[in-house]
């Protein structure tokens, strides 16, 4: 795989990762509700989810999902329900004042384990993401070279870029705690919830083809 191909892939991955999606909205919300420390656990969950999806695509999961309408729809509706539930949770989430975050008060804010599992669930419950990886990654695969190694490198590059973008979103959320009032933070959190519901609606009306 030559440098030009990798550079084009990295730029494409950065543009795709920077587009607001459910994991990015979660990173922003986690940064506001629990600070960067809690948001990191959510980022780890989302990165693990992306890694598992890319691994699955490398082993033919994308082809299986594309050929089975019932499997695709089952996963799609699970994703819709999960995003709706997550939007409701975000809507009810109260922003944590900076002083409480610094004090690390027991029971305050979002537990790291919850942040991890939510982001992992979002990453794994979107069938469009699987089909996207199945369509996107092969465009940069060179048939004359071992495909397994190429999938590994492409996966690592995407996950690293995606992780860095999520860190930026989470850092932005953590900084907003210093700038905005609690009412403004609550409004922004609810905007993230509305974004989740919008993504759920989009996923609900989309079809496999």
Query: Structurally, how many domains does the chain consist of?
Result: 1
Decide: 155 and 16 in contact? Cβ < 8 Å.
Answer: no
Decide: 71 and 181 in contact? Cβ < 8 Å.
Answer: no
Quick: pLDDT tens for 32-83.
Answer: 878 888 899 999 999 999 999 999 888 886 677 667 778 778 877 887 888 8
Decide: 54 and 133 in contact? Cβ < 8 Å.
Answer: yes
Using DSSP, how many helices (H) and how many strands (E) does the chain show?
9, 0
Host domain of residue 116? 3-205
Q: With residue 44 as reference, give the H or E element that holds it.
A: helix 22-58
Question: What pLDDT does 209 receive?
Answer: 45
Q: With residue 33 as reference, give the H or E element that holds it.
A: helix 22-58
Question: What pLDDT does 48 receive?
Answer: 97
Quick: pLDDT tens for 109-139.
Answer: 678 999 999 999 999 987 767 877 887 888 8
Question: What pLDDT does 95 receive?
Answer: 63
3 state DSSP class of 12: helix
Confidence of residue 89 (pLDDT cuts 50, 70, 90): confident
Question: What pLDDT does 207 receive?
Answer: 54
Choose among 64, 70, 82: nearest CA to 130. 64
């Amino acid at each position: 795989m030559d440098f030009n191909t990798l550079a084009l892939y990295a730029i494409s991955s950065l543009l795709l990762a920077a587009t607001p999606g459910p994991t990015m909205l979660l990173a922003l919300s986690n940064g506001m509700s629990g600070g960067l420390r809690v948001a990191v656990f959510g980022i780890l969950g989302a990165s693990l989810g992306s890694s598992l999806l890319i691994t699955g695509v490398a082993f033919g999961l994308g082809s299986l999902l594309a050929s089975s309408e019932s499997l695709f729809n089952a996963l799609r509706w699970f994703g819709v329900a999960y995003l709706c539930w997550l939007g409701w949770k975000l809507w009810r989430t109260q922003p944590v004042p900076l002083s409480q975050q610094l004090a690390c008060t027991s029971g305050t804010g979002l537990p790291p384990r919850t942040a991890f599992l939510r982001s992992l669930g979002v990453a794994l419950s979107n069938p469009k993401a699987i089909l996207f990886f199945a369509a996107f990654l092969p465009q940069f695969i060179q048939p004359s070279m071992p495909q397994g190694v190429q999938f590994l490198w492409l996966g690592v590059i995407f996950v690293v870029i995606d992780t860095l973008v999520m860190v930026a979103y989470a850092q932005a959320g953590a900084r907003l705690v210093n700038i905005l009032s609690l009412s403004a933070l609550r409004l922004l959190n609810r905007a993230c919830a509305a974004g989740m519901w919008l993504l759920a609606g989009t996923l609900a009306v989309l079809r496999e083809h």
